[in-house]
Structure 1
């Protein structure tokens, strides 16, 4: 991180000298800009990594605030000409004291924040299908990035220069959208970062297409919406990267690089195609049709997956309920059989079992290890065997989805942990949420309760939720105080009796 920040600042300082060095090395400006992008990207990955495991609202506040602040900084630097490079380098070096300050403050995942169940972060804690949903989202971002690449170079691939008025309009529009998104999340509006953000991005793409066609001699008017679309795609990609970092099993930088390649790579491919394919740059009708098709594809992939996930959620909840009822019926049947067997043993107390396996066994209750158990000979079987049957049934149903979907999940390294443990965690999470509503538990207390009820130690709960063991202990004490329960077993008994 330190190396990237230092090299980023150095390359920015060298940019004003690029026009002088250009006489000796024509591409020096290009390579310096590429170097700034490369080193700045890894610095961004560091800050995204620090937000790993946070709630949805915290992630929105984190990325869209950063985007809004960056727009102000970029605009100020653009106004002061050459001196703007030195200001930009100084701002880059400010990351050093920010790193020191961040280490002294709580991590983003320590901040309790609102996370809707139908959000990317909410999906990943409740549904197996969430991982396939994240892969579909990455695909949709890639398709939208292709549209963004075409729009940024419309119509022949060359950059579109802003006029002072349109430059201000773009900055104000981007900051306004950031404020609106943050405000909606702070007011706990659902679907803002799922259906809402995709509709917003696609509306900006459509608006840019219309304005390019309406004002062919003033492309900077359409570029206002194009550049805003690009900025919002950056923030949304950051947001999705944090989600991947939080719920994938690979190193966080793996997902950061993957997200950056999807967004930046697809955009670059579209831009290069527009520059090099003459039939595209000279045929406005064709390029408009291609961009419109990409917008429709993105909509179908993203919103179609939302509908699919919603249906899968209902189906999974129904299946879990059915399997639970079947399990209870098995336990009841086994318990009735055990009562009858124990009655027989009671009437024949002290006698040996007549079966061949127990012919030489000690009297009932001797308890020798390896000795045939008269309880089993009488037909008394442990209830745990029902649990094993239930585990086998759930394991057969733990991997819903198509083979194609699973390949995407494996490609993006989100497949770790798709097992019966996921279903048990989802069930316990649902039970904990119901208890949370009854006893007014906070979102973080619900998370702690779900893991603690699974039998996890306080240390393991702390590691899973990125909190200190003392904080986990404090949450558990508050849970006991609010619920009036006094042990883990009492919590489990309450869930069995009062949750659906």
Structure 2
């Protein structure tokens, strides 16, 4: 999953939302079909789908990156301003908001005693329909150009699902599967929203992409698991449904307050860029990168740069891989960084750069940049 999130960075609101929520909708349809099969067949299909990741990644590496697929004037961040998303306070508040919602989801999915609630055919179909319809609605709204929808509306949608689940559990204590429909949909959509935020922070953040992917995984899934474990083993909770419902409602309110107070503060005051500091040995050890290294994705969107790279490729008949390498090299990436981006060895990167120098007659990074800017 981290590979696909990392590959999607830089694509903007439309690409990120479409990729994430379309994938969730399709996966729900597949899960629904697989659940109709015998257990042995389910295991075989799961194995085949898991193994399909490897050829899918191989095919993806030979195609265009998402940020090369669209050219539009949409906002480049879920928070409208790239500077805002590079604000540490926004990162912290997003993490706290997601953690609070993760706590709610963990309690909802384990209500009332930490054990899973069995779905019958009707409730399983209802859960699938709720999830797929909401996912496709999000995708259609974004494709219609209303990219500002991503800022707060999806978060409101998640909070409404949480409220529906809590209310359903309270209103239908003898039919817990009704509340479980909304709780399970909330879980799937929250996962999608976390993945979408991960893409946004990967694109505009100041740290290494995998930092955001791993941090997002910890913030949501660990808090969700913690809540489920507590509900299973703490007697005052699993024996007092009113207390459990109250704690879930408190967590929803806390999540809403954390996120929306942050939004209001960002709206009232301009976001401050992070200081440009040199990477320390400790940062290098944990694979954190500087703001300059992350600026490459934004540079690739500029039409002038893309046109210059295209002219270089056409005039000197560069291969696809040579073009990818020299594009990143021209933006200031080190050979080690290029190797990491393209999943090849530093030695291979060095050879591609040498071949480009031979074909073009250019002899430095600056000469390559000069050629690009002249186009």
Contact conserved, 1:55 with 1:121, CA < 8 A, in 2?
no
Whether the 8 Å CA contact 1:247–1:414 is kept in 2: the answer is no
Deviations 1:334-379 (A, max 9, x none): xxxxxxxxxxxxxxxxxxxxxxxxxxxxxxxxxxxxxxxxxxxxxx
Q: CA deviation at 1:99?
A: 1.6
CA distance in 2, matches of 1:63, 1:99: 16
Structure scoring higher RCO (CA < 8 A, sep ≥ 6) equals: 2
Q: Quick check: 1:170–1:225 contact (8 Å CA) kept in 2?
A: yes
Aligned residue runs from structure 1 range 38-437, under 5 A = 44-82=1-39, 83-112=41-70, 116-117=74-75, 119-120=77-78, 122-124=80-82, 126-127=83-84, 130-313=87-270, 416-417=290-291
Change (3 A) 1:115 1:171: farther
Distance change >3 Å, CA 462–CA 276, structure 1 → 2:
same
| CA shift digits 1:16-65 (9 cap, x unpaired) | xxxxxxxxxxxxxxxxxxxxxxxxxxxx1111121122211101111111
Cα offsets for 1:274-328 (capped at 9, x unmatched): 1111111111221111111111111011111111111123xx7xxxxxxxxxxxx
Q: Using a 3 Å threshold, how does the CA distance of structure 1 residues 115 and 95 change in structure 2: closer, same or farther?
A: farther
Mapped to 2, the partners of 1:459 and 1:87 lie a distance apart of 39
User: Contact 2:100–2:254 (CA<8 Å) still a contact in 1?
Assistant: yes
Q: TM-score if structure 2 supplies the norm length?
A: 0.73
Mapped partners of 1:71, 1:157: distance in 2: 24
Q: After superposition, what is the alpha-carbon deviation per residue over 1:381-429, rounded to whole angstroms, capped at 9, x for unaligned?
A: xxxxxxxxxxxxxxxx8669xxxxxxxxxxx9999549xxx9xx9xxx9
**Unmatched 5+ stretches in structure 2:** 276-285, 307-325, 334-340, 343-372
The runs of 5 or more residues in structure 1 that have no matched partner are: 1-43, 317-396, 401-411, 430-442, 450-456, 468-487, 489-500
What CA deviation, in whole Å up to 9, does each residue of 1:46-90 have, x standing for no partner? 111211222111011111111111111111111102211111111
Match of 1:384 in 2: none
Displacement of 1:97 in angstroms is 2.1
Deviations 1:158-194 (CA, angstroms, capped at 9, x unpaired): 1001010010010111111110000111111143222
Query: Could you say which residue in structure 2 is the equivalent of 1:440?
Result: none
Change (3 A) 1:127 1:264: closer
Return the alpha-carbon distance in structure 1 between the equivalents of residues 328 and 5 of structure 2: 25
8 Å Cα contact 1:248/1:414 also seen in 2: no
* Larger Rg belongs to: 1
Aligned residues: 308
Cα RMSD (Å) of the superposition?
3.5
Alpha-carbon distance in 1 for matches of 2:304, 2:245: 48
Inter-partner Cα distance in structure 2 for 1:259 and 1:196: 20
Query: What is the TM-score normalised by the length of structure 1?
Result: 0.55
Whole-angstrom CA distance in 1 between matches of 2:330 and 2:264: 33
Q: What CA distance in whole angstroms lies between the structure 2 residues aligned with 1:303 and 1:182?
A: 23
